[in-house]
Every structure is written in C-alpha cells, then in structure tokens.
Amino acid sequence: MLSRLQELRKEEETLLRVKAALHDQLTRLKVEELALQSMIRSREENVTVSSSATLGQMDNEAAINQTELHLSLQDDEEEEEEEEEEESDS
C-alpha cells in the first residue's frame, strides 16, 4: 500500500510538471499570436495609408490637370478677345 501511495505521489508530481510546462507553452503561444496579429494590423494600416496616399495623389493630379485645362481655356479666351479688339480697332 505504501509503495502504491509513493507511486501515485511521483505520478502527481510528474503531472504537475507537465501541467506547468503546458501552461508556459500556452502563454508563449498567446504572446506569439498577439505579436502576429499586431504585425498583420500594422501591414493592413500601411496598405490603407499607401492606398489613401495613392488616391490623394491621383486626386491632386486630377486637380492639377483641371486647373491647367481651366488656365488654358482662359488663355484661349483672352487671345480671342485680343483678336476681336484688334479687328474692331482696324
């Protein structure tokens, strides 16, 4: 009976060590999971920022092109007015 009790105690100690080791491993895995999630979020944010910057750049280019077109039209109108004035002066 005594040897059986000693055997059970040794088994209990072994099981407690295994439990502690599994708990440590689970904690490490949770930390690694959080780190990976953080990396994924960071990459997603970088992609979003990059996409926004690209869209912003495209909007800026469109605005510049529109301004250039507007200025070009104004120049054409001014030239026509000058030509009309010259014709009326003649």
Residue 45: its pLDDT value, please?
A: 82
Q: Is 35 helix (H, G, I), strand (E, B) or coil?
A: helix
Walk along the chain (90 residues) and give the pLDDT tens digit of each residue: 889 999 999 999 999 999 999 999 999 999 999 999 999 998 888 777 666 656 566 567 777 677 776 767 677 766 666 666 666 665
Angle among Cα 17, 18, 19 to the nearest 5 degrees reads 90
**Beta strand ranges found along the chain (DSSP E):** none
- Beta-carbon contacts of 60 under 8 Å, excluding residues fewer than 6 positions away, are none
